[in-house]
Amino acid sequence: MDFLSDNAAGVHPAVLEAVANAAGPVPQGYDSDPWSAELDGAFSALFGTPVRAFTVPTGTAANALALAALVPPWGGILAHAEAHIEVDEAGAVAFYTHGASHILVAGPAGKLDAAGLEAALARRRGDVHQVQPAALALSNATECGTVYTPDELARLGRWAKARGLALHVDGARFANAVAFLGCAPADLSWRAGVDTLAFGCIKNGGMSAEALLVFDPALAATIPVRRKRAGLMAPKGRFAAAQLLALIRGGLWLQNARAANAGAQALAAAAPARLLHPVEANEVFLRLDAAERAQLRAQGFQFHDWELAGPDAARFVVRWDQAPGTIAALADALVALP
Amino acid sequence: MDFLSDNAAGVHPAVLEAVANAAGPVPQGYDSDPWSAELDGAFSALFGTPVRAFTVPTGTAANALALAALVPPWGGILAHAEAHIEVDEAGAVAFYTHGASHILVAGPAGKLDAAGLEAALARRRGDVHQVQPAALALSNATECGTVYTPDELARLGRWAKARGLALHVDGARFANAVAFLGCAPADLSWRAGVDTLAFGCIKNGGMSAEALLVFDPALAATIPVRRKRAGLMAPKGRFAAAQLLALIRGGLWLQNARAANAGAQALAAAAPARLLHPVEANEVFLRLDAAERAQLRAQGFQFHDWELAGPDAARFVVRWDQAPGTIAALADALVALP
Amino acid sequence: MDFLSDNAAGVHPAVLEAVANAAGPVPQGYDSDPWSAELDGAFSALFGTPVRAFTVPTGTAANALALAALVPPWGGILAHAEAHIEVDEAGAVAFYTHGASHILVAGPAGKLDAAGLEAALARRRGDVHQVQPAALALSNATECGTVYTPDELARLGRWAKARGLALHVDGARFANAVAFLGCAPADLSWRAGVDTLAFGCIKNGGMSAEALLVFDPALAATIPVRRKRAGLMAPKGRFAAAQLLALIRGGLWLQNARAANAGAQALAAAAPARLLHPVEANEVFLRLDAAERAQLRAQGFQFHDWELAGPDAARFVVRWDQAPGTIAALADALVALP
Amino acid sequence: MDFLSDNAAGVHPAVLEAVANAAGPVPQGYDSDPWSAELDGAFSALFGTPVRAFTVPTGTAANALALAALVPPWGGILAHAEAHIEVDEAGAVAFYTHGASHILVAGPAGKLDAAGLEAALARRRGDVHQVQPAALALSNATECGTVYTPDELARLGRWAKARGLALHVDGARFANAVAFLGCAPADLSWRAGVDTLAFGCIKNGGMSAEALLVFDPALAATIPVRRKRAGLMAPKGRFAAAQLLALIRGGLWLQNARAANAGAQALAAAAPARLLHPVEANEVFLRLDAAERAQLRAQGFQFHDWELAGPDAARFVVRWDQAPGTIAALADALVALP
């Protein structure tokens, strides 16, 4: 009964079928295939604006590639202290940007607000001796399983633009955010001032591809050569494109996210007093001491201790294909804790 | 009738089936799955020595990651002037190594020999003002469709070791080389002094994964974090591992390579006087003037002009799944050229 | 009446004379001159242990070069949140290390202690997804004008070694620290576990050179080529070496530092209630509101507001050649503030 | 009797005096001093156009910094196969550009022409798989002691501009080129389409500073932060500026270069049949076999074997302050060779 990671989830049958349908030979390799040719159009339709979409093998690559296009080597990236790019990507952003650094800002429940960002900037000078803030990077859903609303995001977008900062969103769980809010994808992206979005697929029923979406064509100019040079440009690009098309066409991406979110809500309802953060996506952070964690594990539940949130914290991630019985079992076990 | 690239080939049904078999959920993501766990062992068995195997999404990534582990930022990499890392990877090696440069050496039919390498080194000093040669990088099969024999390779391996140079082999078409020679994989790798091998899968019936093989465990130490930091570490690593296992188990990799090689031999036999290089793998380089190329294209054949070999050169690549009728048609067309 | 920076100080006549004495031609350029040849020996004598000394044009270069030799591109450098490498070097460490990042830790008066460092490490995992802590970097004297004692430093050195971390000291004002403590240079360096030391010269009577000192010969192996490759290796290295020799021979470096420290003490004595930090070197940080700062400036005093310490803070730096009358005038002005 | 390198030359008394005159304290550090403030104006006057001038400690830094501003990390730099940036800077350009590579082109006497460059480009495609040519980098005077005339340079400048390439000139011996031609500095720079010029000072009577000149203000935008971040921004910038001002004011730079050039002419006249290249600056390349070189060395002459030009080649560099008697002695010795 695994609640360790949505990276452990299965691949949705429709994705698998799409991959199988692309298995025959095509005239040319790389992105010169019918599936890749449809990608920009499909994402443009989904977001209601012209979008350039680039497939990459990981979310880490999507985030780092986007920030490399937005930030010079001497730039600073404002980010939450618990941001994935800071905590879990082994310095990928510094690698791809050739040395840009994170300017970390704290904020409750994984979220940043303009006041906190403003305070961080107030301690900095604009002179040549300092790293120059160049972008704001957020996760939505956040690393704490919470979600920025369109209004919150638009406020941050305006704040960023007013200071000449680009805005990138790590959307490894973008689907969960949109599913939670019931808003349009546009409301959590370009309409709110987002320049680039790492659009998650793998955690949400995909297999081996994510999409980096760029809402301003000028920003996309250097991405093809950056992607090639980083060894991220798939020789058989059709398999990446086919996965993404299968997910976004017909709304499968939202259907999967809704399933995962619902499981998280069920867990939250079982342990309301233990919640470290509001549950708005598919992650549940609970206050659980060592004995309680041991007891759950003894019952067969797997999950991560969450040292970032202190010694008595644990994270449970619900997958899109989590068996309902497993969720119910964990909910019962949480209720039954002394 | 496409002879443009083996990246356009289909995915072998056994690979597709292996991917489908891995589609269900697993307890953990990344490389913590049964398929990934078998990878080192499977390659160790194939090569008859302990091997560390790392899946990556492209051959460019495999080459660059390997060379980054072998060469410091101020290092020089001896390579053929037409090497893939020089000509077709958009500077990936410089990116991953943080600035190492290529020391280009010419050689007939895409091959290097010790005399040519020695002459290149003779023009260099060892002092701090110069890029310091640190590795020799070869392709086998080469970019000209020829193959280094075990003896030739071992001679280069000894030459490299005697000068303190590491030896990397770009094996995007390693299967074609082994199939042509009928030797053991070991003969074209560690037995000949090879430190790291980019083991091709995608061109040879795979879908989206290559393997970087490391024959010295000490050299592998930094590769996991380099791979993660480059955004190359697949969240669902089982799909990459499953592809490779499907290919190497039961000899499918050699069966596919033999099919492609045989097609190339058929083409070579049809135009012996036009061959720019011996045909030893699945690529055929022909002397064809503009009118001849136009005539072939008018007959429906697709292929690349090959400017590296001069104005009257063309490259034909035979895929593992090339339809026999297509090959016969091209052979006939070549024979029929005036 | 300038208290802005010790980079504005003059060059000591003995340094100027040493430069003039080196002005004639020599047989060879770069470091192949008698002055450069004496450098290792002179520093080894000063520190009582074999030292490798490399001249560089700036303290930023010394810090970044040292950390590049100590930390891999995916490494983390534990540093005080107000460290010069974080605040005032425009990302030089990330540039030279090819992407290492700072793990910032707070601490009173610009100083770190083991408890704070331990807490920072406790929030991190050692796995491949994270930046790997590789070094601890301190300033001594600190950026707050305080000084680590030999005991404090040795405690941090032991802590670092126990965790496999290298220890670098930014000694832009190392002379001021040694002068304040009256200890041996060894006590604030290798005896306390320091691996590399940026030994300041320019702020302390020098002109255009600092020294990077390396206490472990193995660590020095890559520095010559790194220094060359960064454009830091002076074509006429004798002028850099001559400056350093002039300062350290005969104790001029300590004499200059004592003069600067004494001036700072005089200022501290004039405004004890305003001190933000103990005054132990040549910098004085005072609580001064906007009106008070304006009044001092109207009287002709120049100094920096110090936003890092809040809205009502100012920094006064006393140079080695600060005119005593100027110091007295400022002291009087501070006393006279309402 | 040293003919090893002009980096071994002395410092001109006027430069030394200028340094001494700058020795007193100033209100602020870095470039906030009267000497630095005059630098742009002085170079603008010398070149007859608005110039942005940045002091750096080495020519390597000047070249690498300039090319970093002109070329993206995936860019290619067309350069002569014997260019200093390729042969003698330990990969500095790759370091500063974050991975740009050199596209080497041969040419007689160290010079490139449009035909050779065009042929190099003809072998390249413009697609995303290749390093993209972005700049042409020349040395003038060249590494072979020859000089591009204004016409030759302007032709290359037009060629570069027509292909969207920037043009950088390594002018470590720019003074020698201008002195040889008797032309205006403008004729060998912006008038010929040069974007950036590394203006040599150290070999020509200076001590520790070169100037990077930028003729297009837009190109200069990122250089200040790049210079700081690389540890190249002198804390006491006045000493670098003072050296350059002393050299260019009153024509001292040309006077020194003329002296060095004249010495080289005297040597050339003594051994016309041995010249490997025309002598147009202060370097003389001679055909001398091992016995002849040994004989000269036995007579007390020091010089470098020049392996780049083959086994029987040697380089003699004449310094601005080379004693006339030494030059005469070498000329006599050359004449006396059997």
C-alpha torsion sign, points D262, D267, D273, D277: negative
> What pLDDT does D129 receive?
96
Q: Which of A73, A101, A308 has its CB closest to that of C101? A: A101
Interface check for A125 against chain D (CB to CB < 8 A): the answer is no
Residues of chain A found within 8 Å of residue D99, distances taken between Cβ atoms: 229
| CA–centroid distance for A176 within its chain | 9
Q: Which of A90, A99, A123 has its CB closest to that of C131? A: A90
Query: H-type helices in D100-251, by residue range?
Result: 114-122, 150-162, 174-181, 223-229, 238-248
Q: What gap in Å lies between CA B188 and CA B48, rounded to an integer?
A: 12
ipTM above 0.90, yes or no: yes
Backbone φ and ψ of C305, nearest 5°:
-60, 150
Q: Is the peptide bond before A141 cis (omega within 30 degrees of 0)?
A: yes
Q: What's the pLDDT band for D123 if we cut at 50, 70, 90?
A: confident
3-state secondary structure of C120: helix
Residues of chain D found within 8 Å of residue B104, distances taken between Cβ atoms: 104
Nearest 10 degrees: Cα torsion B279, B280, B283, B288: -10
CA of A225: which chain D residue's CA is closest? D128
3-state secondary structure of C320: coil
Compute the average pLDDT of residues A15-35.
Answer: 96
Residue with tokens 């004693």: D323
Task: Give yes or no for residue A195 having a pLDDT over 90.
Answer: yes
Compute the average pLDDT of residues C300-318.
Answer: 94
CB B283 within 8 A of CB B317: yes
Q: What gap in Å lies between CA A188 and CA A176, rounded to an integer?
A: 12
Min Cα–Cα distance to chain A from B151, Å: 31
Contact C130 A98 (CB under 8 A): no
Q: What gap in Å lies between CA B225 and CA B233, rounded to an integer?
A: 9
The DSSP result for D27-59, as a single string, is SS-BT-SHHHHHHHHHHHHHHTS--EEEEES-H
Task: Give yes or no for residue B252 having a pLDDT over 90.
Answer: yes
- Among D306, D274, D102, residue whose Cα is nearest residue B122: D306
Q: What's the pLDDT band for A125 if we cut at 50, 70, 90?
A: confident
Q: Around Cβ C334, how many Cβ atoms within 10 Å?
A: 22
> What pLDDT does C296 receive?
98
Reading the block at residue A301, the tokens are 């539940």
CB B308 within 8 A of CB B83: no
Residues of chain D found within 8 Å of residue A222, distances taken between Cβ atoms: 72
Task: Give yes or no for residue D1 having a pLDDT over 90.
Answer: no
CB D251 within 8 A of CB D288: no
Identify the burial level of A229 via C-beta atoms within 10 angstroms of its C-beta, where 0-12 means exposed, 13-18 middle and 19 or more buried. buried
The DSSP result for C187-254, as a single string, is GGTGGGT--EEEE--GGGT-SS-EEEEESSGGGGTTHHHHHHHTT-S-TBTHHHHHHHHHHHGGGHHH
Min Cα–Cα distance to chain D from B129, Å: 5
Contact D5 C29 (CB under 8 A): yes
Q: What gap in Å lies between CA B86 and CA B143, rounded to an integer?
A: 11
CB A94 within 8 A of CB A67: no
Angle at the Cα of D285 from the Cα atoms of D282 and D291, rounded to 5 degrees: 135
In three state form, how does the secondary structure of C270-292 look? Answer: HCHHHECCCCCCCEEEEECCHHH
Domains of chain A: 12-251 (3.40.640.10), 255-336 (3.90.1150.10)
Length of chain D: 338
C-alpha torsion sign, points B104, B106, B108, B114: negative
Residue with tokens 């290919």: B247
Reading the block at residue D208, the tokens are 């520790």
Contact B129 D99 (CB under 8 A): no
List the single best residue of A232, A239, A297 to mutate versus B (max B Cβ within 10 A): A232
C-alpha torsion sign, points D44, D49, D50, D54: negative
> What pLDDT does C125 receive?
86
Count CA atoms within 13 Å of residue B217 on its CB side: 4
Task: Give yes or no for residue C338 having a pLDDT over 90.
Answer: no
Identify the burial level of D182 via C-beta atoms within 10 angstroms of its C-beta, where 0-12 means exposed, 13-18 middle and 19 or more buried. exposed
Angle between helices A150-162 and A114-122 (to 10 degrees): 20
Question: Of A58-72, A115-129, D52-66, where does mean pLDDT reach its minimum?
Answer: A115-129
- Angstrom distances, CA of residue A201 to CA of A194, A243, A247, C2: 19, 8, 7, 59
Question: Of A201-215, B17-31, C113-127, where does mean pLDDT reach its minimum?
Answer: C113-127
Compute the average pLDDT of residues C299-316.
Answer: 94
Q: What's the pLDDT band for C322 if we cut at 50, 70, 90?
A: very high
- Tell me which DSSP letter residue C156 carries: H
Identify the burial level of D324 via C-beta atoms within 10 angstroms of its C-beta, where 0-12 means exposed, 13-18 middle and 19 or more buried. exposed
Task: Give yes or no for residue A123 having a pLDDT over 90.
Answer: no
Task: Give yes or no for residue D310 having a pLDDT over 90.
Answer: no
Task: Give yes or no for residue C308 having a pLDDT over 90.
Answer: no
pLDDT tens per residue, range D264-283: 999 999 999 999 999 999 99
CB B9 within 8 A of CB B321: yes
Q: What's the pLDDT band for D329 if we cut at 50, 70, 90?
A: very high
Q: Which of B90, B98, B101 has its CB closest to that of D74? A: B90
> Hey, which residues 207-236 in chain C have their CB within 8 Å of chain D?
207-208, 225, 228-236
- Angstrom distances, CA of residue B251 to CA of B185, B320, B321: 12, 14, 16
Residue with tokens 């301690």: A123
Residue A144 contacts by C-beta under 8 Å, 6 or more apart in sequence? A82, A109, A110, A111, A276, A277, A283, A285
Q: Around Cβ B301, how many Cβ atoms within 10 Å?
A: 20
pLDDT tens per residue, range C53-88: 999 999 999 999 999 999 999 999 999 999 999 999
> Hey, which residues 55-94 in chain D have their CB within 8 Å of chain C?
56-65, 89-92
CB D190 within 8 A of CB D158: no
Task: Give yes or no for residue D308 having a pLDDT over 90.
Answer: no
CB B147 within 8 A of CB B108: no
> What pLDDT does B310 receive?
87
> Hey, which residues 188-207 in chain A have their CB within 8 Å of chain B?
202-203, 207
Task: Give yes or no for residue D24 having a pLDDT over 90.
Answer: yes
Min Cα–Cα distance to chain C from B128, Å: 5
Q: Is the peptide bond before C141 cis (omega within 30 degrees of 0)?
A: yes
Return the percentage of chain C with pLDDT > 90, whole number: 96
Angle at the Cα of C104 from the Cα atoms of C102 and C106, rounded to 5 degrees: 160
CB A190 within 8 A of CB A166: no
- Among A95, A119, A88, residue whose Cα is nearest residue A106: A119
Compute the average pLDDT of residues C180-201.
Answer: 98
pLDDT tens per residue, range C8-45: 999 999 999 999 999 999 999 999 999 999 999 999 99
Backbone φ and ψ of A187, nearest 5°:
-65, -25
- Among B267, B245, B271, B247, residue whose Cα is nearest residue B257: B247
Parallel, antiparallel, or unpaired for β D304-305 and D283-287?
A: unpaired
Q: What's the pLDDT band for B55 if we cut at 50, 70, 90?
A: very high
Return the percentage of chain A with pLDDT > 70, whole number: 100
Reading the block at residue C313, the tokens are 């803070």
- Angstrom distances, CA of residue B13 to CA of A132, B263, D25: 52, 20, 78
Q: What is the mean pLDDT of chain D?
A: 97
In three state form, how does the secondary structure of B242-266 look? Answer: HHHHHHHHHHHHHHHHHHHHHHHHH
Q: What's the pLDDT band for C225 if we cut at 50, 70, 90?
A: very high
